[in-house]
Structure 1
């Protein structure tokens, strides 16, 4: 086919079929799914890729170990364009055990109808362990990709005798919750804290835990991931048809500029809540 050389070398939208950019979303966490939902409403084509073969009611927030970010940072590091702070390992000072029981009756857990309730009448629990320099080293080998009972069981054994409030006369402990919980509904996750400086490059952009990881004590991690998705979806929707690379990079830059101040405030407030909630309690037999 013979091409008109004058038009072939020019990015002329007037002679191109009107087409929205296609978005590839890696990770079906709350941020990725929110972004997909918003793109769907805007009639922007997208695909979502997720490594987990089965969707569980409990998921570990492993976006901090995003393969996309690691690949992006490797490329930037080789090119000498990665800020030194982004090349440092993720810092963490606590681990968390999360789980969800089977549906409970009011006889088993009287407060099931009042507090701690899900739509299925289950109890969702989390136990946070603050780490010292020594215990932090002991957990260095643990990776979020190693979820499962073999990672969670030692921590369950360590805290099983701690009392819980159930609303009834019977004295219950965390061990009772564990007994009501299937092992595939328990995860052990690392609690890292970091706001990365680099959120995008060329046609790749990061959202959620992949670019900012909060302590869960502040309860804002999921909220910020959804806000990222909203801002990014709006920015993508504002792109012209057939955007060129410079327009995409400018859009990513505007997305980060709109979000960064809110992210830093959320990060700082989460650290305050962590210090308030991280006080140690003595075991009942000590």
Structure 2
């Protein structure tokens, strides 16, 4: 006899999905499921979605899904096409090299890479999810899995019942910690998963109020100007990004030594308060930036042009470097592929069928994520100090165009689509990589009721 998962509502035959975390991945998954017949709820610990963060760059690989769900045109009005990343060394403020963007990306791959303020992207995603599907101020304290599905308990006493639980709540996920505790008790937890994630850097981010072109001349250029500045003999890198909203987003990263990482390893929660950011603002205030004109500006000028509550600081774990732009792209790709496998589940799926769907999802995504992690780590090393950073910069500066083209085609070939929505048929010169979940189909199955339990035939 197969184990049976019953739905949270006896009136529904589709499995109900509980998504913990209203970050990019959680909202993207909800946005896609909203286009299907699969019920879902999003549970978020924060009492409100704050407009914090700097800019986020997305490659054209997200364009097919954005077009499928109907947000591509608005996304383009909110964002700017990304120009080549200019890498500058301080204090000389000389351009070391350019990190190129794909040439003729729209013709070759269907869309160009674009950049926009992170709050603008969050707002766009949130508006695709009905308010009654998003539950704020719900800190998850325990999760339980049993024969009748999943039970999520929150700190305020509220409970959510469903059939599939998706943890989209970050590196120190409540869902993950609850699962790990259960696996550890059963002696099934892999040793690497039991180790804490070391903090490797401190990141200061913000976005100015709208500025005049005379204050920051780069704002007049139609493409987003991304200037990444490397501190000489300093464990810092910092960068600026111009936006469609005539604001300047910025990020400053302080890289921790191994000893410093251990000292910071006791912190479990990212601190995004303006008070915590002020000390770091004072520390880096005099770091020079490039505005595109004769203005001699520093990070301090950007701080002065920014509402204090919109400057924030966070500890970053050893995962994706935010400057490489890999985190956002992969979060959205994850949501697309996972939504496909969830949608392809039969009505009233068994435990084995759900587990098989997640295993297939992992198999489809793992190699792409590993590639993205490698790129992100190389970018982090390039921004750091020391001989490794110097070597990576040398390689990037002198990389032959044909070698860069190989990496470009590999990265931009991964353009996943939602299989149950009309396909994006934008003409391209470079075909996308094969996508297993694009060929899925929900099986039809009959059921019988025996001794009060619904069983598949």
Q: TM-score range by the shorter chain?
A: 0.7 to 0.9
Aligned twin of 1:171: 296
Contact 2:320-2:327 within 8 A present in 1 as well: yes
Is 1:246 matched up with 2:240?
A: no
CA 1:79–1:251: 2 relative to 1, 3 Å: same
Is 1:260 matched up with 2:366?
A: yes
- SS where residue 64 of structure 1 aligns? coil
Give the Cα–Cα distance (whole angstroms) in 1 for the partners of residues 196 and 257 of structure 2: 18
Aligned mate of 1:147, from 242, 257, 272: 272
- Give me the TM-score of the superposition, normalised by structure 1: 0.80
CA shift for structure 1 position 119 = 2.9
Q: Which runs of 5+ in 1 are unaligned?
A: 1-8, 194-212, 282-286
Contact 2:200-2:255 within 8 A present in 1 as well: yes
Which moved further from structure 2: 59-68 or 28-37? 59-68
Contact 2:21-2:169 within 8 A present in 1 as well: no
Alignment RMSD: 2.6
Aligned mate of 2:208, from 71, 94, 101: 101
Is 1:92 matched up with 2:199?
A: yes
CA shift for structure 1 position 113 = 2.3
Q: Which runs of 5+ in 2 are unaligned?
A: 55-167, 226-240, 390-457
Give the Cα–Cα distance (whole angstroms) in 2 for the partners of residues 172 and 45 of structure 1: 51
Aligned mate of 1:19, from 3, 13, 16: 13
The count of corresponding residues between Structure 1 and Structure 2 is: 252
Contact 1:214-1:220 within 8 A present in 2 as well: yes
CA shift for structure 1 position 63 = 0.8
Give the Cα–Cα distance (whole angstroms) in 1 for the partners of residues 183 and 218 of structure 2: 52
- Counting only pairs closer than 5 Å after superposition, residues 1-286 of structure 1 correspond to structure 2 as 19-59=13-53, 63-114=170-221, 115=225, 116-193=241-318, 213-279=319-385
Give the Cα–Cα distance (whole angstroms) in 1 for the partners of residues 346 and 314 of structure 2: 41
Give the Cα–Cα distance (whole angstroms) in 1 for the partners of residues 262 and 189 of structure 2: 27
Give the Cα–Cα distance (whole angstroms) in 2 for the partners of residues 158 and 143 of structure 1: 24
- SS where residue 95 of structure 1 aligns? strand
CA shift for structure 1 position 75 = 1.1
- SS where residue 161 of structure 1 aligns? coil
CA 1:103–1:141: 2 relative to 1, 3 Å: farther
CA shift for structure 1 position 258 = 1.0
Give the Cα–Cα distance (whole angstroms) in 2 for the partners of residues 261 and 241 of structure 1: 30
Give the Cα–Cα distance (whole angstroms) in 2 for the partners of residues 135 and 180 of structure 1: 31
Contact 1:25-1:47 within 8 A present in 2 as well: yes
Contact 1:217-1:277 within 8 A present in 2 as well: no
Give the Cα–Cα distance (whole angstroms) in 2 for the partners of residues 250 and 133 of structure 1: 39
CA shift for structure 1 position 59 = 4.6
Give the Cα–Cα distance (whole angstroms) in 2 for the partners of residues 191 and 146 of structure 1: 10
**Structure 1 moving runs of 4+ over 6 Å:** none
Give the Cα–Cα distance (whole angstroms) in 2 for the partners of residues 252 and 120 of structure 1: 40
Give the Cα–Cα distance (whole angstroms) in 1 for the partners of residues 265 and 276 of structure 2: 13
- Give me the TM-score of the superposition, normalised by structure 2: 0.52
- SS where residue 65 of structure 1 aligns? coil
- SS where residue 63 of structure 1 aligns? coil
**Which has more strand, going by share of residues?**
2
* Partner deviation per Cα, 1:144-201 (whole Å, 9 max, x = no partner): 34321222111111110011111232211000000111122122122212xxxxxxxx
Contact 1:191-1:216 within 8 A present in 2 as well: no
**Which has more helix, going by share of residues?**
1
